[in-house]
Chains A and B, each alone.
Chain A
């Protein structure tokens, strides 16, 4: 294992399509990405896990509903329960919600149209490890591309999330999918699992319009580094 590059697993489901972009982004940010096929029940020795975007199992039934039964997901749940950091992007966010590792659910966009564009999101919390590299209230420009990104939680859950500081990203100005309370990203109560609809892995190079996504992915790499090398 490379002592300076922490290994980060990118779980590949049938129908994932942002796994390679995520791996490339992680590599550029100093990690050693490990593509991990969903049928493998054991996670390799990694410091963090990323669930990429795509259309696992064709989004059949509900987006993420079937992928959550993949053998790898049990290991991901154990990894999270042990305090490991898990980031779900787009379809990965949907899988984490269906698996119960994150609260709420993602529904078809209010417009019923697929959206694919840059959006502005506001950083609501910087006291979560995934957003430690951002300024409070900072606006990040990151693209979205999804048909089912309308985050929903009922009033009771919403109040709970707000009180506990689990709503970490909100759309700023334009809400692309009709999500409740303009929510773009949430964390679990322990703040080691995060999901977001925008794609930070598509925004790590100014050449592509924005490098704001690197702020989130870099934090994931650093958390992986801490977990793997802290004892050394």
Chain B
């Protein structure tokens, strides 16, 4: 099945990239309070069992995809299209 992983800078962590985007948006006249920049990963995992898939992607996040000191992550699962 498909898994989407959203990796975000943890709240309170200074995000200079988000700040730059926020400033640019304001410069263009948009009214934004805050912008934060994270990372999105689209994965295809072999298993079709949602529990197994979630457990596996959790492990991927812990081992490689996110650094727990500065990043949080969310996993969304969907059937393969």
Q: Which of B1-54 contact A (CB under 8 A)?
A: 13-14, 16-17, 20
Contact residues in A for B65 (Cβ distance below 8 Å) = 61
CB distance from A20 to the nearest CB of B (A): 29
Judge whether B64 is part of the interface by a CB distance below 8 angstroms: yes
Contact B69 A112, beta carbon cutoff 8 Å: no
Report the minimum CB–CB distance from A69 to chain B (whole Å).
8
Q: Chain B's nearest CB lies how many Å from the CB of A102? A: 12
Cβ of A110 within 8 Å of any chain B Cβ, yes or no, is yes
Which B residues are CB-close (under 8 A) to A152? Answer: 13, 69-70
B44-81 CB mask vs A (1 if < 8 Å, else 0) is 00000000000000000000110101100000000000
For the complex formed, measure the closest distance between the CB of A45 and the CB atoms of chain B, giving whole angstroms.
31
| Contact call B16/A61, Cβ cutoff below 8 A | no
Q: Mark A161-198, 1 if CB is under 8 A from B, else 0.
A: 00000000000000000100000000000000000000
Find out whether the CB atom of A110 lies under 8 angstroms from the CB atom of B67.
no
Asked if A105 and B67 sit within 8 Å, CB to CB, the answer is yes
In the complex, A14 Cα to B14 Cα: how many Å?
30
The docked-state distance in angstroms from the alpha carbon of A107 to that of B13 is 10
Is A98 a contact of B16 with CB atoms below 8 Å?
A: no
A29 located at the interface, meaning its Cβ lies under 8 Å from any Cβ of chain B in the complex: no
CB distance from B59 to the nearest CB of A (A): 14
With both beta carbons as reference points, the residue of chain B lying nearest to A112 in the complex is identified as: B16
Contact of A112 among B17, B64, B67, B70 (CB under 8 A): B17
Indicate if the CB atoms of A108 and B70 lie closer than 8 Å.
no
**What residues of B have a CB within 8 angstroms of the CB of A80 in the complex?**
none
- Report if A61-B70 is in contact (Cβ < 8 Å); known contacts: A108-B16, A111-B16, A152-B13: no
**Interface pair B70/A105, CB less than 8 Å apart:** yes
Q: What residues of A have a CB within 8 angstroms of the CB of B14 in the complex?
A: 110, 178
Residues of A within 8 A of B64 (CB): 61, 65-66, 69
A35 within 8 A of B: no
* A-binding residues in B (CB < 8 A): 13-14, 16-17, 20, 64-65, 67, 69-70
Query: Can you list 11 A-B pairs with a CB-CB distance of less than 8 A?
Result: A61-B64, A62-B67, A98-B67, A104-B69, A105-B67, A105-B70, A107-B70, A108-B17, A152-B13, A152-B70, A154-B69
Point out residues on A near B: beta carbons under 8 Å.
Answer: 61-62, 65-66, 69, 98, 104-105, 107-112, 152-154, 157, 178
Which 8 residue pairs across A and B have the least CB separation, nearest first? A105-B69, A112-B16, A110-B16, A105-B67, A105-B70, A62-B67, A112-B20, A152-B70
